[in-house]
Structure 1
Amino acid sequence: MVTTHAAMGAALSALLLPVSPRFAAVAALAAFCGGVFPDLDLLVGEHRRTLHYPDYYVLLSLPLAGLAVLRPLTATVATASFVAAAALHSVADAFGGGLAPEPWIRDDHRGVYCRARRRWVRPRHWVRWDGAPEDLALHGVLALVCIVAFDGTVQWLVVLSLPVSAVYTAVRRRLPEWAPWLLE
């Protein structure tokens, strides 16, 4: 679920609180957005291929993190956090289900596309599919980290994402019959 990816990025930013509390909220907001960004390819291209870069986002995030450490500015921290969360999202998709409209059938080998290897990485099914109960549970744990660690906008974004996730989880298995065009 995109909400799980968003919360994952924001929760990762909580690691900055003891080191640099001044930038933690900025990092969390940027990471929340970076966690969402790869799934915008649902709107513009092939999902988990057009804006998912498990290889290149990781490679790009390393020098950006170094730059944020050497020049800790709002812009450098936000950029590094955004890209790191997009990397985390892209890599994490390989640990979920495939891209088929009914991924619980496990008949789709496409987890996420890796450009460096020019092939699809197979889904691992640690989270069986997007919107599975364990996806909602993971989102809940990550949201709790954010709720405890942050206040203000970060906290509210994560709190508001919880009912969205719960509704999506409740209807996910029915989506293929209700809206096949949505899952294409």
Structure 2
Amino acid sequence: MMATTHVFAGLAAVAPIAYVAPEFAVALAVGAIAGGLVPDFDLVFTHRRTLHFPVAGVAVALPAVVLATVVPTSPSLAFAAFAVAAWLHAASDVIGGGPEMDPWNDRTERAVYDHVRGRWLFPRRWVRYDGAPEDAVVAVALAVPTLVVFDGWFTAVIAGGIVVSLVYTFARRRLVAWTPDWLE
């Protein structure tokens, strides 16, 4: 799925807490945005393996949530939001296609690496590939409710993310033809 979809999923996960405790909205949003993005920093390594922890990530996310519940401070809530969003990112990559540049060709049966079992999880392809039309629908569906909860510059970030998602969806299949051979 698109990076923006992962960010919107993280924001949607923390939105109810930010609604009830608006004094922590900034910390929650910053943590969720970072957690939604950071796993994809492994694009320069082994994508969906180096920084993706679909099973082991819960071992960090759950204690972080417990800590944030017991000690509700901006740092603890930001860390919990980060951990949950990063785990959701990694876990949800299994519902998409593979990590290759053109996953619509179904070239691989590798969605995301499970470090606990030491094997790749199979792609479910419910969202056929990042930037597929169904990915855009999921992104917008997750983003719109967050516009109600988060305000200020977050509104611009979310609205900009929706625009980026739609433009990327429109151009996604053409990107492979525009990509230099050394990146494939």
TM range (shorter): over 0.9
Alignment of 1:34-183 (within 5 A): 34-43=35-44, 45-181=45-181
Note if contact 2:27-2:75 (Cα within 8 Å) is conserved in structure 1.
Answer: no
The TM-score normalised by the length of structure 2 is 0.94
| Counterpart-to-counterpart distance in 2, 1:30 and 1:177 | 35
CA deviation profile, 1:131-170 (whole Å, cap 9, x unmatched): 0001111111111011122111222211111121112111
Give the partner amino acid of 1:37.
V
TM-score normalised by structure 1 residue count: 0.94
Long gaps (5+) in structure 1: none
CA distance in 2, matches of 1:183, 1:77: 37
Residue 101 (structure 1) shift = 2.0
The Cα offsets for residues 94-117 of structure 1, whole Å up to 9 and x where unpaired, read as: 001112221112221110001001
Contact 2:19 2:149 in 1 (8 A): no
User: Using the alignment, how far apart are the partners of 1:103 and 1:61 within structure 2?
Assistant: 29
On the 8 A contact 1:14/1:146 being kept in 2, the answer is yes
Shift of 1:180: 4.2
Q: Deviations over 1:55-99 (max 9, x none)?
A: 222111111100000001111000010010000000000001112
In 2, the alpha carbon distance for the partners of 1:173 and 1:124 equals 20
Deviation at 1:175, TM superposition (A): 1.5
- Name the structure 2 match of 1:11: 12
Aligned residues: 183
Tell me, what secondary structure is at the counterpart of 1:17?
helix
Whether 1:31 and 2:48 are equivalent positions in the alignment is no
Moved over 3 A (4+): 180-183
State the percentage of identical aligned residues: 44
